[in-house]
Amino acid sequence: MATYKAPLDDMRFVLHEVFEAEKVWAAMPATEEVTVDLADAILEEAGKMVEGLMFPLNRSGDEEGCQWNDGVVTTPTGFKEAFKTFAENGWTSLSGNPEYGGQGMPKGLAVLFEEMMHAANSSFALYSLLSNGASLAIDAHASEELKQKFLPKIYAGEWAGTMCLTEPHCGTDLGIMRSKAVPNDDGSYQISGTKIFITGGDHDLTDNIIHLVLAKLPDAPAGSKGISLFLVPKFHVNEDNSLGGANGVTCGSIEHKMGIKGSATCVLNFDDAKGWLVGNANEGLACMFTMMNYERVSIGLQGTGTGDASYQSAAAYAKDRLQGRSSDGVKNPDANADPIIHHGDVRRMLLTMRALNEGGRALAGYLGLQLDVSKFSADADAKKKAGDRVALLTPVAKSFFTDRGLEACVLGQQVFGGHGYIREWGMEQYVRDVRIAQIYEGTNGIQALDLAGRKVVRNGGKSVQAFLQDARAWLSDNASKDGVAPFADKLGQAFDLLDNITTELLEQSGKNANATNALAMEYLDIFGYVIYAWMWARMMEVAARNADQPLQKAKLITGRFYFERLLPRANALAEQLRAGSDNIMALDADAF
């Protein structure tokens, strides 16, 4: 059976010892009250909640799935009651704006909570996380009237939120969408069109669902510059905030999916549904990116969290499963076999999982704090620098977290051997559930193109140079310290590799129109392995101060494994990138 316990000790280590988050928060009025004690108390209660409320519904939710009957969607048994408890205990409002009933907790803390939720039950987590993203976009771009009317209910968990982008004929290419918005005399709009793949598009968890819908006005410019964003509730909302009748939003069906079966993925039909403009006309895509970028970081954490859940189960199984004898002598003389944890290949798989999961957790903490500074800092320069760093690293986090998360889950399944292929053990569910994370919120190939095209080629690599300047400055200050010194040269070489391969990408993109697109994935993965190396060096520097403690000792051993066994992957990827795009584009399309 699968097992999961929130890794609170490791989360506290990353948050307080590696990044000293409380010092960052103390410097900003909006977060200055978030102390070590408060953060730890929230993490502690979050751990109890995900372990006791969400995780027990993970397998049963997968077995039962969501149901659609005559336009009505029901979630698996126990979800509705659990969501009510979840909301009543304040988890739907954790990072919300306090002006409208949110708790205002910083993202540096929230990323750890989101990892826990995804590890415990990704299907259940998605309902809340989509609401969080919708409320963020409403708070950033909607009128004060709309904020007052909708945010308190979403924060309270009485209403939920979604984002509605994809249509049957268009996914990433939103410029060709067909959904229309026709103005009404009262300032509202009539929204018509069909949206597909809408996570949480309909369900029975809340009284109302607030859809953020991309559509085009009658006189809109062609392409993506003609997209506007509208707030469209499932049910009309009266002046006193009570619910009125249905608003022309119906669920045509739900998808029958490979995984996350407890999450309703819906086809939504908007038939002259009444909605309100969010932000300026024809600027909807920019407004929606506020939500999309939030969701991309969160979905990245689906990879990290699910990978950690798989690791915990695999490690427990490996300590218990008796098969064969250890190569260096009998470990269990009272039985006819030793636990498989003593076999080298099993160790390789578990350490790979652990190194990737913990590297991802550290990067999530780093990125969360950058998000906090970009949002709350009063220092204009610090705010801009943090915002630039977030823009650069968001596609890396979404893509690399989820690719490595799938890798971790497949390895966890492999540790179980034949039992990993059997449903009752839970490992194959992790593989199925995490697979979607590489696809939605922008496929990982699109994330790579965003990084290579918009964030590197378009600005001549300046954002990467700013990142490398900070990383190299840290290495210069810490290279001689105990935890870093054995790997300082390797880390410096990794920074040089990223620097050189960025130049290579710029040069190839300048010569060949296909280069940016064709080489983007290798570039992103190189970036991912290099930044994980920096995260591991930062953890090892701190761990070496108390190297005799179990957690710190394990950090130093796992970090060494990362530098010696996983970081070298970046060199192979660099060779692939240097080979260019001609070998990718040479075969005629008709020959495929």
Alpha-carbon distance values, 298 to 110, 161, 367, 441 (Å): 10, 15, 11, 10
Residues in the chain: 592
User: What are the catalytic residues?
Assistant: 441
β-bridge pairing 208-215 and 159-164: parallel
Helix (H) or strand (E) holding 211: strand 208-215
The span from the CA of 537 to the CA of 169, in Å, is 46
Question: Which segments of 544-578 does DSSP mark as H helices, in order?
Answer: 550-561, 569-578
Question: Which segments of 142-206 does DSSP mark as H helices, in order?
Answer: 144-155
Do residues 311 and 2 make contact, with C-beta atoms less than 8 angstroms apart?
no
Question: Is the Cα dihedral 35, 36, 39, 41 positive or negative?
Answer: negative
What distance lies between CA 184 and its chain's CA centroid?
Answer: 38
The span from the CA of 295 to the CA of 199, in Å, is 12
Do residues 164 and 267 make contact, with C-beta atoms less than 8 angstroms apart?
no
The span from the CA of 127 to the CA of 83, in Å, is 9
Do residues 364 and 404 make contact, with C-beta atoms less than 8 angstroms apart?
no
Sorted by sequence, the CB contacts under 8 Å of residue 481 that are 6+ apart come out as 541, 544
The span from the CA of 588 to the CA of 536, in Å, is 44
Torsion (CA) 46, 48, 49, 55 in degrees, nearest 10:
120
Nearest to 138 by CA among 83, 96, 187: 96
Alpha-carbon distance values, 577 to 15, 461, 523, 590 (Å): 35, 16, 7, 25
Residue 449, burial from CB neighbour count under 10 angstroms (0-12, 13-18, 19+): buried
Instruction: Identify the bridge partners of residue 155 per DSSP, sorted by sequence position.
Output: none
Residue 94, both tokens: 């954790």
Sorted by sequence, the CB contacts under 8 Å of residue 579 that are 6+ apart come out as none
Share of the chain residues as helix, strand and coil, in percent rounded to the nearest 5: 60, 10, 25
